Chains A and B, each alone.
Chain A
Amino acid sequence: MFYNPEDKKLPEAFIEGGRPSIKKYEKVIAAVKAELLGERDLMRRINLKQNQIRVIKADLIEQKIIRQLANKKFEYIFEAPALDTKAFEELRAAKTKDLDSMIQYE
């Protein structure tokens, strides 16, 4: 396969940008810990795009750190576990490995 090192930058950017940074997750957790907030409130408060908020929200709900109430606001769960970043790092590592395999393919 014809390979130019510059071509690697784009898929790498996709992998890095596929999930918001851990810092952004922490910002969302801190904001929801302080008060009940809806999606739009969060976007304004943390200055994040809707897509990123939705990804973070889905992950935090899955990890039982926050829950969405009937009024659509997000609530921090009492005695919630700490954010587990292992899953995000594993996914990132798996995607990087896939990319490397593609580059190595002859």
Chain B
Amino acid sequence: MAHLPRWGHLKINNLIIKFYHENKISVEDFFNLSESKWRNEYQLDEKQISDLLQAKLGLGSNAFLAESFFNQGFELIPIVSPGFSKTLKGNLKTAHSPAVLYVKGNKKILEEKSIAIVGSRDASEVALKFTDNIAKLASKEYKVVVSGFAKGVDKQALDSAINYKGQSIIVLPQGIMTFDSGFKKYYSQIINGDVLVLSTFFPKAPWKAELAMARNPIIYGLADEIYVAESAEKGGTWSGVVDGLRKQRKIFVRNPDTTEKNANLLLIQKGAVPVDFNGNVISKTYDTTIEQVSVVQEPNETESVDKKICSAFNGRPLHANELLVKLGMDWTVEKLTAYLKKLDFIEIVKDKRTSLYKLKGSGDSSQQTLF
């Protein structure tokens, strides 16, 4: 039932609420109901009934899979179980919570305070050091570090948590029964109860890029606090943070140095909270009101232009024509100038008789006034 094709979490969870909580019947009893009961009592349409019948037909072959699954020490936590992560349920709610968690290891880790440290696969040295430091601080405070087992920041977060004798949750971008090499590598941490491996996908599902993307909300959902070490302007980290902000999550982003080329600043402008190397909140020096509103809307063309403009600055004020070259847009200088003047995250700096543009709050204006 958890993997009914094209049903989505909301539809599955609403059905579970209806039969389990309202009608007080088990999943087994639900599957034994007649088609007419599915149609009349549960208001399921023909397509949905056909999907359920298909799932019922698959029970035989899934029984073999289940036997192998349990024999190998994997466990299943349905959303109705008291062992299901309350943090995940609270953060993702009915609309986004997976109906089942597949796990191996110490399930009690799911009850602990947790933080997620996320970031790019090809993260910079400073981002990896930040990750290591945050994992160290979290481990000292007995907080579980949640990560996604990707290269770069994810792997650093996991290895640092282990190194500092902390606990960790690995959220897989694949089915849990396809993680043999990982189980071998983290064997002692798993059997000692320091690592829990978790997946929400069909147990035999192989790694896929779309599963890696679908796994990101689970990482964010399992964490009480989210730290972003480094994000590019696209990809899993970016979309995960934007999705998190849209769901009104508080997300801490490492405040980047002005020379860094990443999208951390852009995320801060979108409403994420800037933090220093130790994870302490830094007060913002620019107004983000308009950007914060924009994250609850679907991305549009204006937002994409704003993003481009933000990332075009690398700390130095730019002339409108310099900016136009960097943006690679077919606008006129006049059009861009008029547009820039309307943006509240852009500051105009006078240089003799010309105007330069810079991001509000970036350090250059103070340098110019000092000298």
Q: Which A residues contact B (CB, under 8 angstroms)?
A: 33-36, 67, 69-71, 75-79
Contacts and interface: CB of A to CB of B under 8 A. Distances in A.
Contact of A33 (B71, B183, B184, B191): B191
Contacts of A33: 188, 191
A39 B73 CA distance: 19
Instruction: List 4 A-B pairs, minimum CB-CB distance, nearest first.
Output: A76-B191, A78-B191, A69-B72, A67-B73
Interface string B48-88: 00000000000000000000100111000000000000000
A70 B190 contact: no
Contacts of A78: 73, 105-106, 190-193
B7 interface: no
B73 A35 contact: no
The CB with the most chain A CB atoms within 10 A, among B68, B72, B73, B191, is that of: B191
Nearest to B184: A36
A78 B180 CA distance: 17
B191 A67 contact: no
Contacts of A77: 73, 191
A67 B184 CA distance: 15
B191 A70 contact: no
Contacts of A34: 188
Contact of B72 (A35, A70, A76, A79): A70
A38 to B, nearest CB: 12
Contacts of B192: 78
Contacts of B105: 78
B16 to A, nearest CB: 28
A79 B193 contact: yes
A63 to B, nearest CB: 15
Contacts of B72: 67, 69-70
B187 interface: yes
Given A34-B188, A70-B72, A75-B187, 12 more contacts: A36-B184, A69-B72, A70-B68, A70-B71, A71-B180, A75-B191, A76-B191, A78-B105, A78-B190, A78-B192, A78-B193, A79-B106
Contacts of B106: 78-79
23 contacts: A33-B188, A33-B191, A34-B188, A35-B187, A35-B188, A36-B183, A36-B184, A36-B187, A67-B72, A69-B72, A69-B73, A70-B68, A70-B72, A71-B180, A75-B187, A76-B191, A77-B73, A77-B191, A78-B73, A78-B106, A78-B192, A79-B106, A79-B193
